[in-house]
Amino acid sequence: MSTPNASRPLRVGLIGYGYAGCTFHAPLIGAVDGMDVAVVASSQPVQVQRDIPHAEVVADAAALIAHEDVDLVVIAAPNAAHAPLAEAALRAGKHVVVDKPFVLDLAQARHVTRLAKESGCVLSVFQNRRWDSDFLAVSEAIAAGRIGRVVQFESRIDRFRPEVRERWREQAVPGAGLWFDLGPHLIDQALVLFGLPQRVTLHRLAQRSGGVVDDWFHAVLDYGVLQVILHAGMLVAGDTPRFLVHGERGSLCKQAADPQETQLREGMRPGAEGWGEDSDPLRLTDGNGEQVSLAAPSGDHRLYYAAVRDAVLGIAQPPVTPVQALALMAVLEAGAKSARAGASEDLDLSSEEWAAAQAGFPALQSAAVALRSVPD
C-alpha cells in the first residue's frame, strides 16, 4: 500500500454507476478538493463519459481494482457484491469506501474489518446522512439541552412509490428490501447520538401489490429509559415528520427532510449557491406548550469525502470507522433476526466489540451520555 501525498489529487476508482454511483458518489467526490474520479467500472460507458469526460471507463471491477492509477476504491455495486469487492480491493492494497449497507451480515463485517486492519488500508462506509440538515438541526438542539434528557426519539424516511420497480433492490436477492436500504441511514444516526441499544425489535412487511421484499418496517431500539423508533414505508403520501423527539423539558419536530438528494437528482453541483440549504425550521415545543422555530443548518455531504481524503493522507481518522460499521451491522442483523423470530433480539457482539463500539460512537451531547448511565 502506498499513501498518496497532498501534492496531487487522490485518484478514485468508482465501481458501479447506477443510482448511488451516478447521483451521490461521483458528484460528491468531484466537488471535493484533492479528489478526482479517475476510473469507473461500468456497463454504461456513454453515460459515464458524458458526466465525467476525463475518467477512464473499464468493463469490470477486477480491472479497476488492479489499475495502477487508483488509490481509493469506492464500491457502489449491489449489496451482495460489497464484501467480495472490498476484500479484493484491500488485498490489492487499495483504500476502500463501501456504500451502505456495509455487507450482508456480521460475519462478513468481521472478516472485512480484519482484512483492513491487516492491510493498513483505510476502510469506511458511506454514511452521508450524518451531514443532513435535518439530523444536524435535531442533534444540535439535543446537544444544547433544549428538551433536557431524551426519552423518545422517532426517525422516519417515508416515500410514496406505489409501483414495484424493476431493480435489484426490490427483487428477492440477498441484501434487498427497505431494512437494508434505508435502515442503515436511520440506525447510524441513532448510534451516533446514543451508542449501542440493549436490544432490537423489528417488524417488516411487503405492503405493495406485487412486492416480494420488505417495503415497510418499524423498528424499536431499546435503551432502557430511552426508546428509539425507526420507521420507513413506500406507501406514505405525506404529512409525516422526519424527526419527532421527546424529552423531560419539551419536544422537537422536524417536518421536512434534508434537500441534498433532491438537489443532486436535479443536477445541482455540490457547493453551488443554495446547496444543502434547508428552509424548513426545527419546531421546539416547551413544557408550557410554547413553540419556537429554530433555523436548520445547511447540510453538506461533501464533508464525508473530505474526511475520507484526510484519512487516506494519514492526517485524520475515517469519518465512519470499521468499528462503527461493524456495530451498525450488528444492529441490522439483530433486526433481521427479530423479524424472523417475532421477538426482540440482543446484539451478537463480544464484550470487546461492544466496548470498542461504544467508544467509537462518542455522543454528540451530554444528555445522551447521561442517558446511558440511567438504570432500567
Q: Domain for residue 323, yes or no?
A: no
Give the confidence band of 159 by pLDDT, cuts at 50, 70, 90. very high
Q: Is the pLDDT of residue 188 over 50?
A: yes
pLDDT of residue 306: 97
Residues 241 and 286 reside in one and the same domain: yes
Domain of residue 211 covers: 130-299+331-372
Mean pLDDT of the chain: 93
Average pLDDT over residues 127-141: 96
> What percentage of the chain exceeds 90 in pLDDT?
91
Cis bond upstream, residue 319 (ω within 30): no
Residues 26 and 147 in one domain: no
Q: Would residue 318 count as lying in a domain?
A: no
Task: Answer yes or no: do 40 and 94 share one domain.
Answer: yes
Amino acid letter, 258: D
Please identify which residue in the block is written with the cell numbers 444528555.
Answer: 367
This model's pTM is above 0.85: yes
pLDDT for the residue 367 = 36
My answer on whether 44 and 104 are in the same domain is yes
264 shares a domain with 214:
yes
Examine the domain organization and report whether 275 and 341 are in the same domain. Answer: yes
Report how many domains make up the chain.
2
157 and 245 part of one domain? yes
Domain-located, residue 321: no
Predicted confidence at residue 3, as pLDDT, reads 57
CA distance 245 to 258: 17
Residue 75 has pLDDT above 60, yes or no: yes
**Predicted confidence (pLDDT) per residue in 318-342, tens digit:** 999 999 999 999 999 999 999 999 9
Q: Which has the minimum average pLDDT: 135-139, 166-170, 259-263, 363-367?
A: 363-367
Q: Answer whether residue 242 is part of any domain.
A: yes
For residues 339 and 257, state if they share a domain.
yes
Judgement on whether residues 185 and 202 belong to the same structural domain of the protein? yes
Last residue of a domain, one of 126, 156, 179: 126
pLDDT digits (tens, 9 = 90+) for 32-45: 999 999 999 999 99
Percentage of the chain lying above the pLDDT 70 cut = 94
pLDDT band at 1 (very low <50, low <70, confident <90, very high): low
* DSSP code, position 127: -
Annotate 223-252 with b (16+ C-beta within 10 A) or e (fewer).
beebbbbbbbbbebeeeebbbbbbbeebbb
Whether residue 154 sits in one domain with residue 266: yes
pLDDT at residue 5, as a whole number:
62
Indicate if 15 and 27 belong to the same structural domain: yes
pLDDT at 375 over 80: no
Residue 312 lies in a domain: no
pLDDT at 234: 97
